[in-house]
Amino acid sequence: MAISKATRKSTENAEIFKRRRQKVMAGLKEAALLVAAHPEHVRNDDVHYPYRQDSNMYYLTGFEEPESFLLLRPGKTPETVMFVRQKNVERETWDGFRFGPEGTKKEFLIDEVYPIEQFEAKAVELLKGYEDLYYRLYKNPEADHRVQTVLLNLKRAHGRSGYGLLTIKDADTFLGEFRLRKNEDDLRNQRMACEISAKAHIEAMKFTRPGVTERQVQAVLSHAFYANGSGREGYNFIVASGNNATTLHYNFNDQVCENGELLLIDAGAEMNFYSGDITRTFPVNGRFTPIQKKVYEGVLKIQKEIIDYIKPGIYFKDLHAMGESRLTDLMIELSLVRGRKEDIMKANEHRKYYPHGIGHWLGMDVHDAGLYMIKGEPRPIEAGMMFTIEPGLYIPANDMTAPEELRGIGIRIEDNILVTERGSENLTALVPKEVDEIEKLMASTR
């Protein structure tokens, strides 16, 4: 029998995750919380997609193996419990190192860790007496099935007591509120993710010239991500030249960047599961045409105005409303839409050229967890929250109602904003976005 040589260390200090668990447990009150690992997905035949742990599982453990559960039982003994795959020399020889129950307990500072095979039996014991369980259904069908078995066995274990099933509350909504407010542990990674993403965008700008393919630009971004310490991209690369930029989440990235076109890059690196999310739009040949410059600077002015407005106490929906209003003004100025502004907005005509929102929470998921409204009411922005500001204007090449010179122009400018006590900090300000800065940077490489 082969001996598995693989070893592995957790990439972050286990104390970070312990602090997070303690904070979350303090909010659980009388309930327990169960988090399942993300499922593995087959790509083709026996090849899997690269595995990425569920964000909540990572947030609370730092543990990156599939087929595992975390159970939190505040105030009880054991208080923190995990179920993980057992060590298996043969599987580890093929697929890599496993911590196993003992290794997990020690490395991840968990009170008790059992083999995953014991989940159903042990979970019934450990959940006895609870009325509420936080768990997110429908993310991992196999885990859901196992949880259902536990719930049924728990009910049976109550005998003829009249008790029904344990109430399931949504764990992702609950945990989202913790993830939404970033502390120094979170921000260390968030800042690195933004910095690595920013450096990659600069490299891509320097590299781009007529004749390169979108894929080659993607390769430059990807190289800069990994070379600077990122583990993976936070979402699929969007490298969209010319008219492709009018597709919001264009992912083919297989066309040639032509002279005279703009290139829109929306790409973000992950650092310890925190993602950047930057978009820049710039000319393939390094110089904006007068009309490209006019549209670009129109969008840029709006982006900067909105960022300047950010401070604790404002509402996210107001930022969105500002974006819609200012972009409609720009559309009127460019003769993309005609008539009175109120009528245009009431009829949603402006949505034709700006069909998305002004931004979204940013963190471990690019479209991060956390409520935007609480019981139907908008929530005030607080220091420590992170979000993107990304106004855009997209005019498809086949839009015969648009002035001809504007057709095929797609522009988005996106930065990552941390709300501070006094206002905000732009964590992606490193990437040039002023016309003269972009042109200067690009000229320096040709």
Residue numbers annotated as active site: 46, 249, 266, 277, 356, 360, 367, 390, 394, 412, 414
Work out whether 368 is an interface residue with ligand GLY (CB under 6 A): no
From the list 210, 15, 38, the residue with the least C-alpha distance to 107 is 15
Q: How far is the CB of 300 from ligand GLY (least distance, A)?
A: 17
Within 228-247, which residues bind ligand GLY (CB under 6 A)?
235
Q: In whole angstroms, what separates CA 247 from the centre of its chain?
A: 20
User: Of all residues in this chain, which one has the CB nearest to ligand GLY in the complex?
Assistant: 266
CA pair distance 204, 198, nearest whole angstrom: 10
Cβ proximity to Mn ion: between 56 and 279 the closer is 279
Residue 235 binds which of Mn ion, ligand GLY, none (CB < 5-8 A, kind-dependent): ligand GLY
Q: Which helix (H) or strand (E) holds 375?
A: none
Q: How far is the CB of 362 from Mn ion (least distance, A)?
A: 7
Q: Write phi, then psi, for 332 (nearest 5 degrees).
A: -65, -45
Q: How far is the CB of 251 from Mn ion (least distance, A)?
A: 12
Work out whether 224 is an interface residue with ligand GLY (CB under 6 A): no
Q: Per the structure block, which two tokens stand in for 289? A: 């045409």
Residue 92 binds which of Mn ion, ligand GLY, none (CB < 5-8 A, kind-dependent): none
CA pair distance 82, 68, nearest whole angstrom: 7
Tell me what percent of the chain is helix, strand and coil, each rounded to the nearest 5: 40, 20, 40
Identity of the amino acid at 47 = V
Q: How far is the CB of 218 from Mn ion (least distance, A)?
A: 14
Q: How far is the CB of 349 from ligand GLY (least distance, A)?
A: 23
Identity of the amino acid at 21 = R
Q: Write phi, then psi, for 265 (nearest 5 degrees).
A: -120, 125
CA pair distance 96, 222, nearest whole angstrom: 24
The single residue among 54, 261, 365, 390 that binds ligand GLY, judged by CB under 6 A, is 390
CA pair distance 404, 383, nearest whole angstrom: 44
Work out whether 84 is an interface residue with ligand GLY (CB under 6 A): no
Q: In whole angstroms, what separates CA 174 from the centre of its chain?
A: 17
From the list 317, 333, 327, the residue with the least C-alpha distance to 352 is 327
Cβ proximity to ligand GLY: between 134 and 235 the closer is 235
Q: How far is the CB of 367 from ligand GLY (least distance, A)?
A: 6
Binding mask 304-343 for ligand GLY (x = CB under 6 A): ----------------------------------------
- Would you state the torsion angle of the CA atoms of residues 370, 376, 382, 388, taken in this order, to the nearest 10 degrees? 60
Q: Per the structure block, which two tokens stand in for 403? A: 């002035």
E strands present in 32-184: 32-36, 42-44, 47-48, 69-72, 80-84, 112-115, 132-134, 167-169
User: What radius of gyration, in Å, describes the C-alpha atoms of the chain?
Assistant: 25
Work out whether 366 is an interface residue with ligand GLY (CB under 6 A): yes
Residue 270 binds which of Mn ion, ligand GLY, none (CB < 5-8 A, kind-dependent): none
Identity of the amino acid at 236 = N
Going by DSSP bridges, is the β-strand pair 415-419/424-426 parallel, antiparallel, or unpaired?
antiparallel
Cβ proximity to ligand GLY: between 101 and 391 the closer is 391
Q: How far is the CB of 319 from ligand GLY (least distance, A)?
A: 15
**Count of residues engaged in binding ligand GLY, rule: CB under 6 A:** 7
Cβ proximity to ligand GLY: between 270 and 414 the closer is 414
Binding site for Mn ion (CB under 5 A): 266, 277, 279, 388, 414
Cβ proximity to ligand GLY: between 195 and 415 the closer is 415
Cβ proximity to ligand GLY: between 285 and 416 the closer is 416
Cβ proximity to ligand GLY: between 235 and 274 the closer is 235
Q: Which residues bind ligand GLY (CB under 6 A)?
A: 235, 266, 277, 360, 366, 390, 414
